Amino acid sequence: MMDSAQEKGELPPHYSAVAAHPPHTARPAWHRRGIRKSRGLRYIGLAILVFIGYAQWRQIPESTNSEVTAYGLSIERLQEDLATCAKLQTKPVDPAGLGREKNARYVDGHKPTLIKNATVWVGEPAEGTSAEDARAGKGWSWITADVFLEHGLIKRVEKDISLESVSKDVLVYEANGRPLTTGIIDMHSHAGVDSLPELWGNEDTNELSSDITPYVRSIDGIQPGDHQIQVIKSGGVTTSLVLPGSGNNMGGEAYVIKHAVGKADGRNETSAADMLADPDRTWRYMKMACGENAKRVYGKHGEHGPTSRLGESWEFRHAFEQAAKLVREQDDWCQAASTLGVESVRSYLPADLRWESLTALLRGQVHLNTHCYTIPDLEAFVDHTNEFKFKVRAFHHAHQTYLVPEILKRAYGGDPPASAIFADNMWYKAESYVGSEHAGKYLWDEGLTPIYVSDNPVLNAQHVVFEAAKGYKFGLPYHAALHSVTTAPAERLGLGQRLGKVKPGFDADVVVWDSDPLSLGAAPVQVWIDGTAQFENPVELKKPAPELIVPDESLGHIVEEPETVSSVIFTGISKSCLNNKAVESFKELYHFSEVAVITNGKLTCVGLCHSAIKAANASPQPPKTIHLKKGCLTPSFVAFGSTLGLNAIDAEKDTDNGASPNVFSRAADGLALGTKKLRVAHAYGITRAVSAPKFAGGATHHGTSAGFLTGAATTLESGAVFAPDAAVHYTLDLSAKRGEGTPSIAAAVGALRHKLLSAVSDLNTTISDAYSEAAYLRKVVTGQIPLAVTVHSADTISALLRVKSTVESALASSSSSPDPPSLRLIIIGGAESHLVAEALASANVGVVLSPLFSYRKTWDQRRALTGAPLTNGTAVDVLLAAGVKTAIGLEEDYRVIELGLLAGVVYANGGGRIGEREALGLVGGNVWDMLGLEKEKGEKEHFVVWEGSPFEIGSRVRGVGGGGGVVSVFE
Ligand SMILES: *[C@@H]1O[C@H](CO)[C@@H](O)[C@H](O)[C@H]1NC(C)=O
Ligand SMILES: *[C@@H]1O[C@H](CO)[C@@H](O)[C@H](O)[C@H]1NC(C)=O
Ligand SMILES: *[C@@H]1O[C@H](CO)[C@@H](O)[C@H](O)[C@H]1NC(C)=O
């Protein structure tokens, strides 16, 4: 494949000065043509003669000097080199879309498709809209149209395309008015090179032999069989830029693939080459990375760098210098060879495979994507672009770009790089500590381009459109949010005339959605790639007829910091979701807007509240009144199992309580409050958290968890630690093998059983330290504290259920009481818990799904359900249907920003089986039930006042009550 493409001039020239020169050009014509049977025999004799002649002729150039220059160089080769000069100096242009008869990716025989009655997002404003108006959001709309796909292209987008006007073999798809967009584009993925579930043998993300490896190529590691490629597509993502990882300053070449693999997806081949979005390889792509990764991976003090950003800049500049030198040498050679003739040059065209791709970058043939978070990284890299004169298409992980638009604008080439970002994934390392969920909006306001990406498997790229939805929620205009995952990445990839729009001439990558793609839980009902439907029996969720989002410009009004007041009146509360009978009965009596009066941080009245308002307004300092449109009141949320209160920056030891695989400890002894994470958590309605010390990495646990108020400044504040020892935690996920004395899962399960059985047999002994592991285990076996085990695998959960019954039997036989306590078990993690849902329900075991939507990232999660259209529901649906007490956990702390949204996704995708209250219970009441904490206690102090339904993407938090006699108000 590569050779033939190279012959056709579609590939860059071969790299090596010593490359072999096959004699293919000398092949006689008959060798290639077929021979008609009837004459075949007559030709054989002749052919033998010709062959002998040919063989002798082949000897000639090698036996004489006539084809060699005075300097002993092959003329043939010099001429090839001269031809290469032209290719070296070609600047690619974006490949055209319109005018193609067929998409080069079209597989013969595939029938055309007519999608009837769709509501289409074209990706462009109405004709005649000025660029300025378009940017401001004018002229954009969803239109009703039919879409005709043929030969891998979108051929027509019109109202009422008649069947008579298209070919007879057309496949008709009724969209029934549902939203139709182009396929989503993920401009930062490691799908295929970092296959899931992650296994060492399949891990090919980074070539870590050296910091500077511009010469490696992600395509050489792409596994078409990575199931995640299919999962990603099930989220409507049809195209991804597969980048090498960010371990190296120069990571290597990247490739744009489409998510159609092999026969099952309508392709000819199961190969990475067949997945290439542009088989002609018009543009090349490359990945570089600045910042802490390279210095962490490579730097060794006194031995080799880079150990600092200073060293990294040197690595970059040194590499660019090599490439620039080679470019100069090549250009000089080409100049000499073309003006003086190839006979006069003293060498072949200079070439060096190590620097070839980098020279192509300097020649403008490569689209560069650079991972840079921080201001110094961005500034240094922009300096390199100007020193060596090359462009950057996008800065990735560009958390701080919104702070320095001027640096982006002075990047070489006059075309500021886009910012490929996450909507809200941050705080995981120092570089991502300064970030904002409003970055997309701020960049847009500066005339820059935010693009939401997954970094799959960092985020599950299946949900990259959710990143765009959050971008909208956090202030990016609606059309810009859609732009950020369609037209914007298409343009940055140099494929803007082929991808990203639903227009004639574009590739036929199309998604029909079950709801507005930016609404919570939006899922495709069908996906086409190059005109071929990708799902044979897609699961379609039961949802009401889609209502398109009416863009709400008020979301662009950002309140960075709330005001803290003791009393406030909210009006316009049209719906109370508070789990309070009194409020309910009130609602039934009065069908008009209600009011919430908050006095000294407490909800003192919900309803009409005439007298409460009067009283409040008569006080010496009357509270302010905030008028809401479609206000809603809910209980506040609870974060269970995160590292909130124990960590500020995941990767920074100094900010972290630390991991204790071998020491049992209490979170209450390590709580560190007043962090940014806690402030943000509180602002998004999480007023209480229950956190346990880490066992090993992030979402693992060992010790007792503490329940505390996220709004408290110190643990000494009254009520700040409301549950000093909420649960006893152990970890049985894959990291369990890292514990002392537990080299295997079997050993870890056995060790836990041994501890519990010992606690039973020691029940009558005295424990001198009331804060020791033994003391807490006694509370566990006597049913006073729940046992929370972090575990994903259905097999290990099964083993744990057996441990539970073994311990309960031991309790029964050692106790004289007729009703011995049962172990109160909670599972945290639970990716595969759906497989044992019935058993969990009958053993009365609760599950905290963490993450809520597992995507089989690790081996012990490999049987997770990834949702429609691939699977019928996810774990949460199965658990709730089986009657398991379920909650949503946070496997990473940034999810505090979206915890409420996740409950909304469960609600939206529950097929009507999960009510609003039940969904809210997943982030509040159910945790309380599992922990056996008193629920009603804090209800009047722990609440969220919303503008809009919390189950809709466009809702905003306007007030948060989280104890302490105050309420946070966002105005
Ligand atoms: C796919 O295979 C068919 C049959 O072998 C062939 O006609 C067609 O050209 C191939 N298409 C592509 C895109 O390779
Ligand atoms: C398009 O779909 C909508 C929603 O199902 C339906 O109400 C409408 O009648 C359909 N229009 C046509 C022309 O079929
Ligand atoms: C503990 O003491 C009680 C009362 O003396 C006795 O009934 C029970 O069997 C003892 N339990 C164990 C485990 O020794």
- pTM score, whole prediction: 0.92
* C-beta of 108 in contact with ligand 1 (< 6 A): yes
Does the pLDDT at position 584 exceed 70?
no
In terms of Cα–Cα distance, which of 463, 462, 508 is closest to 277? Answer: 508
Q: Is the CB of 109 under 6 A from ligand 1?
A: no
Report the pLDDT value the prediction gives residue 24, as an integer from 0 to 100: 37
Ligand 3 geometric centre to CA of 964 (Å): 45
pLDDT grade for 814, boundaries at 50, 70 and 90? confident
Q: Residue 131: what pLDDT? A: 96
From the CA of 814, how far away is ligand 3's center (Å)?
6
Q: Which atom of ligand 3 is nearest to the CA of 764?
A: 1
Q: Is 754 helix (H, G, I), strand (E, B) or coil?
A: helix
> Domain boundaries in the chain?
184-500, 562-635+938-971, 694-704+723-937
Query: What pLDDT is attached to residue 577?
Result: 64
Task: Mention every residue, 6+ apart, whose C-beta is less than 8 A from residue 572.
Answer: 593, 627, 628, 629, 630, 631
State residue 45's pLDDT score.
47
Cβ(496)–Cβ(182) below 8 Å: no
* Mean pLDDT for the stretch of residues 618-638: 91
Residue 101 Cα to ligand 1 middle (Å):
16
Check residue 417 and give its pLDDT.
98
- Crossing angle, helix 899-908 and helix 464-473, to 10 degrees? 120
Is pLDDT at 773 greater than 90 in this prediction? yes
- Any idea which of 22-26, 642-646, 789-793 has the lowest mean pLDDT? 22-26
* Better-predicted residue by pLDDT, 19 or 731: 731
Q: Say what percent of the chain tops pLDDT 90.
A: 85
pLDDT value at 59 more than 80: no
Q: What is the CATH number of domain 694-704+723-937?
A: 3.20.20.140
CA angle 790, 792, 797 (to 5 degrees): 80
562-635+938-971 and 694-704+723-937 have identical folds? no
User: What is the reported pLDDT for 818?
Assistant: 79
The structural architecture, per CATH, of the domain 562-635+938-971 is Roll (2.30)
Output the pLDDT for position 593.
65
Provide the pLDDT for residue 280.
97
Tell me how far apart the alpha carbons of residues 926 and 921 are, in angstroms, rounded to a whole number. 5
Ligand 3 cavity residues, CB under 6 Å: 761, 763-764, 814, 816
pLDDT computed for residue 578 by the predictor: 58
Highest mean pLDDT among 4-18, 21-35, 283-297, 807-821 belongs to 283-297
As a whole number of angstroms, the distance between CA 34 and CA 43 comes to: 12
User: In the chain, how many H helices and how many E strands?
Assistant: 27, 32
Average pLDDT for the chain: 91
| Nearest alpha carbon, ligand 3 atom 7 | 816
Question: Is residue 815 in contact with ligand 2, taking CB distance under 6 Å?
Answer: no
Region 818-826 average pLDDT: 90
Closest ligand by atom to 763 CA: 3
268 pocket-lining for ligand 1 (C-beta < 6 Å)? yes
Q: What is the pLDDT of residue 607?
A: 81
- For 232-247, write each residue's pLDDT tens digit: 999 999 999 999 999 9
User: Does the domain formed by 184-500 have CATH 3.40.50.2000?
Assistant: no
Nearest of 207, 189, 213 to residue 358 by alpha carbon: 213
In whole angstroms, what is the distance from residue 530 CA to residue 507 CA?
A: 6
pLDDT at residue 677, as a whole number:
97
Is 70 exceeded by the pLDDT of residue 17?
Answer: no
Atom of ligand 3 nearest to the CA of 763: 13
Answer whether 177 contacts ligand 2 (Cβ < 6 A).
yes
Q: Does residue 344 surpass a pLDDT of 60?
A: yes
pLDDT at residue 44 is higher than 60: no
